[in-house]
Chain A
């Protein structure tokens, strides 16, 4: 974007070719439409939209990375629960917070590695592998926890580090209830956006997703790259569990159920291709925000014919719509 030498038209064209273009245009379009909804442009709504997107957002980063590499991780939601349980259980036990954090990242990471190794060693599609392992992980969690729900009312400083209130903002701007989880999410998004676009590993991810055969011929270690992507997805899922427990101080077996599908939907809205080789982390973040924003907009609309318990359908319609629009923009570019 800094190349000012390029002629105006090609510059626009090249921008449209970027994977962020479609989602961003959709986002702005819907934002414009929703801005007419009463109470939408208030700090309470805006901070609500952002907060609602943090947990899904964290998982979406890993999922998007995998989708670019041409793989799926349906076990992400289960790993989020694993992370939440380990982190919550250990901090409640009085274990050192750092140990709790590390366990909540390492164990989901190892389970992610297990997903990846199963995939590369058996050749079973990752969709099937992780479809199976998500049940295994949740089942194991059931045994580990004894089926009980975890909850505490104690307040440990580390909870504020990961998902505390940012009171200084709320003090400045009324109703701006942003939380520290947002900073962690943004940090992770920009870290992986950098890794994906500016490092050799990132190149490899795109390469193995786009054309594994060619990538292999170029000397890319396809298997190792895939396993690393699965580990990243596992660690980020565990971290989502950490963020969750830090604010809500509660974890149960069903924690994160369906989170992986929302993440895949966000990634798709954000421009990732189900077939791999294309996508962007920032785009995925836009996707998550878009879905969150829509839900808020629909509830705020308070339409008599969409009862409060059925806004999901509208969100679903829009996910499909956004994906179609993305494809259309991509094909025009």
Chain B
């Protein structure tokens, strides 16, 4: 028997030796099949922002600020490039204090990222003047432009001129996203109103309740209606009936309306107000009715001295902040990502709010110079998986720019038990923040909870599904929004119409892949194009024939979506065999591979969707830094880093930076 065992061992040794003689390979592709755990879709709706924050004071003179000395720049994406950016906004710190916070965000980001930003704004509320300033900014040929899209119709032409000149444009504070505004800028950074109402509702209903009411001072205002809809949806999800109560501008009559409603519905115990104008009569009602903090639950949008006092005394659970600092900081960050790495914002709307101001953080003191020590724990390392080098470069770059000290922990091989131990190790070091990959929520739940209990801000990156689906109350998950990837990809493919679409899914039943297909099908249906899912397998030969057969049976199919190299590969073989040329049909895919990059270049494939791992690492550090120094919390349970679309226009940049930044 021992002879047999030793022979088996010898055989294994031979195999190992032979195998190790064959060296591992040069050209590699990392598939980004999404983690099986699902991710909630956050691309809810785009949001019109209440523009009128202005308290117009008479401070004349057009303010033009130059942050840092301008430096000569060269065109094209370059990681070391010094960028010259312009920000054009409809109001200024000089005459509206709200904007001081936005401008502070811009300035801090410019400092951190070593870019130059020139802020232009009118000396009083004057949108015609703002339109002129946009043209003025475009004439300066900046590397990026951020604009408050206060009036999309008025600004459409000047912004379009900027885009035509090849200048990347993002909107901040005011806007509704490129789709609703009908201007193809990159993204809008502002509050996601629906999510504000929804998440506020979830917080208010966390401990149950009998009945909820959303007190709306301006029914018919899209933004306010969205807040109420989110609130009502959240409560209904928790099984609590909820409705909207309309009040008016008159505080006295509003107080009476609230009081009468409460008399008629005495079991109402959850109240949401949509700003100081609603909170003010609400507090008066509470006072008159003799209601004490704790009798009912109240949350509100926005902050005022009165609201802050009520948060402190426990009457109000939270005030929802749109986090204007983040609008400025994030705008500069995104334009820097575009200019240096060709990394694009993932969604048409990038939520900067809701940020929740509660009893715990209402007294937060901002300190831009506060030292930040963070820990990051991930399930794989650059040392043994090249995909992670890009993530780690993002971490390194952000830490350097923002002056953050970080410690990166990871196992020396794929070993989730070990990762769980490393999380505990990180918690024991009492860092100011912790970022980790939630590869296995069940296994990591206990260690992550220990970190949260110790008061450490925790975020997830690359792997996870968001705090709600993972059932771990961390702040946010930075990763690809799979549904949005399929949906936005579908919109692109269907932009010029089409007859029939098919989503080629190599693993039906995989939640992440199914979401990609669902997004695609929804987008096409929205455009009136029928679409369905075609299941293929791991066997490329069988898959090729399945696609071919499907095409034979459905010869009018002209829009194809594949979910990664595994689907794209037999698809290209099918095209080849069927004699289809670039232009005969439209094809988009998730992820990149040498083959996909070649096909994007020759026009066969319209785009490859990238999860932008650099941004996952960079964003993780930035998010924790913003939390520690500025008290800014991520707005949404999922902070999308992808889809980032790689097209013929930017494929060269992506290829050049592949492996380091892309």
A123-161 contact mask (Cβ, 8 Å, vs B): 1 or 0: 000000000000000001011111111111100000000
Q: Determine the chain B residues whose CB is within 8 A of the CB of A244 once the complex forms.
A: 540-541
Q: Of B94-102, B221-229, B565-573, which stretch is located at the interface?
A: B565-573
Question: Is the Cβ of B539 less than 8 Å from the Cβ of A56?
Answer: yes
Bound form: Cα–Cα A48–B539 in Å: 13
Q: Determine the chain B residues whose CB is within 8 A of the CB of A258 once the complex forms.
A: 537-538
The smallest beta-carbon distance between A250 and chain B, in angstroms, is 5
Q: Determine the chain A residues whose CB is within 8 A of the CB of B261 once the complex forms.
A: none
List A84-129 residues whose CB lies under 8 Å from chain B: 86, 88-90, 92-93, 95, 103, 106-107, 110-111, 113-114, 117-118, 121
Interface centre among A147, A150, A257, A292 (most CB of B within 10 A): A147
List B1-34 residues whose CB lies under 8 Å from chain A: 1, 4, 7-8, 11-12, 14-15, 18-19, 21-31
Q: Name the residue on B nearest A259 (C-beta).
A: B539
Bound form: Cα–Cα A254–B538 in Å: 7
Tell whether A54 is near chain B: CB-to-CB under 8 Å. Answer: yes
Q: Specify which of B8, B535, B545 is in contact with A308 (CB 8 Å cutoff).
A: B535
The smallest beta-carbon distance between B487 and chain A, in angstroms, is 19
The smallest beta-carbon distance between B194 and chain A, in angstroms, is 31
The smallest beta-carbon distance between A228 and chain B, in angstroms, is 15
Tell whether B548 is near chain A: CB-to-CB under 8 Å. Answer: yes
The smallest beta-carbon distance between A182 and chain B, in angstroms, is 11
Tell whether A171 is near chain B: CB-to-CB under 8 Å. Answer: no
The smallest beta-carbon distance between B573 and chain A, in angstroms, is 6
Q: Chain A: interface secondary structure?
A: helix
Q: Of B153-161, B382-390, B644-652, which stretch is located at the interface?
A: B382-390
Tell whether B41 is near chain A: CB-to-CB under 8 Å. Answer: no
List B535-589 residues whose CB lies under 8 Å from chain A: 535, 537-542, 544-546, 548-550, 552-554, 565-566, 569-570, 573, 577-578
Q: Determine the chain B residues whose CB is within 8 A of the CB of A42 once the complex forms.
A: 552
Tell whether B450 is near chain A: CB-to-CB under 8 Å. Answer: no
Tell whether B594 is near chain A: CB-to-CB under 8 Å. Answer: yes
Tell whether A247 is near chain B: CB-to-CB under 8 Å. Answer: yes
Tell whether A256 is near chain B: CB-to-CB under 8 Å. Answer: yes
Q: Name the residue on B nearest A262 (C-beta).
A: B539
Q: How many residues of B contact A (CB 8 A)?
A: 61
Question: Is the Cβ of B545 less than 8 Å from the Cβ of A292?
Answer: yes
The smallest beta-carbon distance between B20 and chain A, in angstroms, is 8
Q: Specify which of B12, B386, B565 is in contact with A151 (CB 8 Å cutoff).
A: B565
Q: Specify which of B21, B549, B593 is in contact with A299 (CB 8 Å cutoff).
A: B549
Q: Name the residue on A nearest B7 (C-beta).
A: A117
Bound form: Cα–Cα A55–B570 in Å: 14
Question: Is the Cβ of A103 less than 8 Å from the Cβ of B22?
Answer: yes
The smallest beta-carbon distance between B2 and chain A, in angstroms, is 11
Q: Determine the chain A residues whose CB is within 8 A of the CB of B548 once the complex forms.
A: 44-45, 48
List A141-190 residues whose CB lies under 8 Å from chain B: 142-153, 177, 181
Given A148-B30, A149-B29, A250-B565: A107 in contact with B19 (beta carbons within 8 A): yes
Q: Specify which of B25, B538, B539, B542 is in contact with A92 (CB 8 Å cutoff).
A: B25
Question: Is the Cβ of A152 less than 8 Å from the Cβ of B27?
Answer: yes
Q: Specify which of A56, A148, A152, A247 is in contact with B385 (CB 8 Å cutoff).
A: A148
Q: How many residues of A contact B (CB 8 A)?
A: 72
Bound form: Cα–Cα A56–B537 in Å: 12
Q: Determine the chain B residues whose CB is within 8 A of the CB of A309 once the complex forms.
A: 505, 508, 532-535
Tell whether B413 is near chain A: CB-to-CB under 8 Å. Answer: yes
Q: Specify which of A47, A103, A301 is in contact with B553 (CB 8 Å cutoff).
A: A301
Question: Is the Cβ of B545 less than 8 Å from the Cβ of A153?
Answer: no
Q: Determine the chain A residues whose CB is within 8 A of the CB of B366 once the complex forms.
A: none
Question: Is the Cβ of A308 less than 8 Å from the Cβ of B539?
Answer: no
Q: Determine the chain B residues whose CB is within 8 A of the CB of A39 once the complex forms.
A: 552-553
Tell whether A51 is near chain B: CB-to-CB under 8 Å. Answer: yes
Q: Specify which of B18, B28, B541 is in contact with A103 (CB 8 Å cutoff).
A: B18
Question: Is the Cβ of A48 less than 8 Å from the Cβ of B545?
Answer: yes
Tell whether A204 is near chain B: CB-to-CB under 8 Å. Answer: no
Q: Determine the chain B residues whose CB is within 8 A of the CB of A259 once the complex forms.
A: 538-539
Bound form: Cα–Cα A92–B505 in Å: 28
Question: Is the Cβ of B23 less than 8 Å from the Cβ of A93?
Answer: yes
Tell whether B598 is near chain A: CB-to-CB under 8 Å. Answer: yes
Bound form: Cα–Cα A308–B1 in Å: 54
- Residues on B lying within 8 angstroms of A by beta carbon are 1, 4, 7-8, 11-12, 14-15, 18-19, 21-31, 380, 384-387, 413-414, 502, 505, 508, 532-535, 537-542, 544-546, 548-550, 552-554, 565-566, 569-570, 573, 577-578, 593-595, 598
Nearest 4 CB-CB pairings of A with B: A52-B545, A48-B545, A309-B535, A299-B549
